[in-house]
A and B are shown apart, each in its own frame.
Chain A
Amino acid sequence: MTGSSIVDHSVPTTSSGNASSDVVMEHALERSLAASREVDEPSSEVVRFTDQPLELDGGQVLDAFQVAYCTYGTLNADRSNAILICHALTGDQYVASRNPVTGKPGWWEIMIGAGKPIDTDRYFVISVNILGGCLGSTGPASINPATGRAWGLEFPVITVGDMVKAQARLIDHLGIDTLFAVVGGSMGGMQVLEWAARYKDRVFAAMPIATAPRHSAQNIAFHEVGRQAVMADPDWLAGSYFEEDRTPRRGLAVARMAAHITYLSEDALERKFGRNLQDRAGKTFSFSADFQVESYLRHQGSTFVDRFDANSYLYITRAMDYFDLAADSDGKLAKAFEGTRTRFCVISFTSDWLYPTRESREIVQALNAVAANVSFVEIESDKGHDAFLLDEPELFATVRGFLGAAARKRGLTAP
């Protein structure tokens, strides 16, 4: 069951006796242990806020919370070259450095680094694990100081706005007044929009990528399927699985499998897998993973559960479902951006059906309605929503060009 292509090294097997699957299990266990270590004591930088309670959009208050983050590059003398990177649903702060749980390179190394489109020789890059996450920022897997146990479902339901407020505390802590840019894709793009709407004077340039001004009924529907899969797992234990040292692995894996389909496109699936069989000459007339696409999804599911907390997944998907920037501004999206002086660059991908171009266009039209400075680029790609994470030369050219022009306007000095 092992091979060279990405679709091969995966299929969950029932024969626990053989040596290679023992190794697989051992690695999975190691990753799970590493993941649980990272929840409260991350390998990255972390700031603990103990005397500045965070008022949440839901009305509750987090008396103490922590924000885990990484930085790359050097902050210049007038602290004007900082770029905040906001991550998507299952991302983390390790954008351009090795992930301590998976051991894999940073998830956006193709974009961020010396000489890359987001050039760490010029810019000071800050990437933050979101509030509600599970790699060092406070979330449902963190210890609730009031009880000494993990929060679990006692953790308050949070919003994308709450994530951004927590990030703003970190930016204050770092002594940065105005961010040169805020950049993010998918849910990261929602945070970018929240930043631009809530902190108009603190964002010089904003790049919301492959995102939407609100979660659509279809988006909410897919998330609900994922959440129900987690909750239907007998190991979920109404969110308190950690107390009995269990994990709703199957439920979370199914949630990830369903979600992963929405990140791709029909063309990409067809091109990558078609109806190809997985290491077998013919159909087995069973329910094992005959097709490569099944094997691929099972792999996506099983590796995901080793690195991600199931409750965290529930909370973050909920926060995304609640996201509706217009609703917070009397139903008028344009009102959210009134008075903005931020330079925007909105980017969408032709084959992204999760956050289709028309939703990016709504953002652009709202920005036009307040005569904001906005660029809008739709990039031709058949890779679906995930295109923003992949090798897309037009995306790189756009990011480089937009940031370069913004840097000239801002009169950025090299660090």
Chain B
Amino acid sequence: MLARKDPPVGTQLHRVDHLLIADMVAEGARVLDVGCGDGALLQLLEERKKVDGRGIEVTREKVNACVAHGLSVIQGDADRDLDKYPDKAFDYAILSLTIQATRHPRPVLEQLLRIGRHAIVSFPNFGHWWIRTQLLFTGRMPTTVNLPEAWYDSPDAHLCTIRDFVDLCRVVDARVEHKVAFNASGQQLGTWLPLTIHNLVGEKAVFLLTKS
């Protein structure tokens, strides 16, 4: 969904969150990647996990590029098109760095939990200490390498912190099976660390969820 997050198809530089997601996905699973961009994650999952992968992408040019590369992708919208899928149609429904750009994150997450046996969600953590510091000292909406646009240009209408997302999981009755946060250099934070530390130091997070 977001232009900035996708390396070109076929490059070997995989995004850290993609690699973490690939670790969470079982071999040969049926996967739906919502907001699949140019298909880098789908391609990674097909290569490494031999998944039966599908994608939804809102930008027409990216959809067409995906299909031309042999990926099964449709032009569509996370906010509008997920209700067309039957319950448990996929083993994993994935939202990678997309939830913050949806218009209605809560129903989108609920749909994700409905159509997938598991949902995997990755997002940029707005609770990161650098973001908090910027807001505190400049009094303006923070910008970072991952969130470079000014607030009025940003597609990210619903940014949240890791703690916020944990709250949302509770609201939609999602059980957190696994969660990983990682810092700017892509290092995973120890799972033994408390949520407060993840929320402060984690730059992005990946959650594996099921409907409880």
Chain A residues at the B interface, C-beta cutoff of 8 Å: 343, 345-346, 364-365, 368-371, 373-380, 394, 397-398, 400-402, 404-405, 408
What's the minimum C-beta distance from B36 to chain A, rounded to whole angstroms?
12
Q: How far is the CA of A343 from the CA of B52 in the complex (A)?
A: 11
Interface SS majority for chain B:
mixed
What's the minimum C-beta distance from A411 to chain B, rounded to whole angstroms?
14
Q: Are B84 and A375 in contact (CB under 8 A)?
A: no
Interface residues of B, count at CB 8 A: 23
Q: Are B64 and A374 in contact (CB under 8 A)?
A: no
Q: How far is the CA of A307 from the CA of B52 in the complex (A)?
A: 47
Chain B residues at the A interface, C-beta cutoff of 8 Å: 30, 52, 54, 60, 63-64, 66-76, 81, 84-86, 89-90
Q: Are B70 and A368 in contact (CB under 8 A)?
A: no
What's the minimum C-beta distance from A248 to chain B, rounded to whole angstroms?
43
Q: How far is the CA of A376 from the CA of B81 in the complex (A)?
A: 13
Q: Are A402 and B64 in contact (CB under 8 A)?
A: no
Q: How far is the CA of A397 from the CA of B70 in the complex (A)?
A: 10
Q: How far is the CA of A375 from the CA of B60 in the complex (A)?
A: 12
Q: Are B67 and A401 in contact (CB under 8 A)?
A: yes
With A375-B71, A376-B73 known, 12 other A-B pairs at CB within 8 A are: A365-B84, A368-B74, A368-B81, A369-B84, A370-B86, A371-B85, A371-B86, A371-B89, A374-B54, A375-B73, A398-B67, A398-B68
Q: Are B90 and A371 in contact (CB under 8 A)?
A: yes
The residue in chain B whose Cβ has the minimal distance to the Cβ of A368 is B84
Residues of B within 8 A of A373 (CB): 52, 54, 72
Residues of B within 8 A of A380 (CB): 60
Q: Are B68 and A378 in contact (CB under 8 A)?
A: no
Q: How far is the CA of A81 from the CA of B81 in the complex (A)?
A: 34
What's the minimum C-beta distance from A309 to chain B, rounded to whole angstroms?
38
Q: How far is the CA of A379 from the CA of B72 in the complex (A)?
A: 16
What's the minimum C-beta distance from A408 to chain B, rounded to whole angstroms?
7
Residues of B within 8 A of A343 (CB): 72
Residues of B within 8 A of A404 (CB): 70
With A394-B64, A400-B68 as given contacts, are A364 and B86 in contact (CB-CB < 8 Å)? no
With A345-B67, A380-B60, A398-B64 as given contacts, are A375 and B86 in contact (CB-CB < 8 Å)? no
The residue in chain A whose Cβ has the minimal distance to the Cβ of B60 is A378
Q: How far is the CA of A405 from the CA of B73 in the complex (A)?
A: 12
Q: How far is the CA of A375 from the CA of B73 in the complex (A)?
A: 5
Q: Are A402 and B84 in contact (CB under 8 A)?
A: no
- Please, could you name 25 A-B residue pairs with CB atoms under 8 Å apart, sorted by A? A343-B72, A346-B74, A365-B84, A368-B85, A369-B84, A369-B85, A369-B86, A374-B54, A374-B72, A375-B66, A375-B71, A375-B73, A375-B74, A376-B73, A377-B60, A378-B60, A378-B75, A380-B60, A397-B64, A398-B67, A400-B68, A401-B67, A401-B68, A404-B70, A408-B70
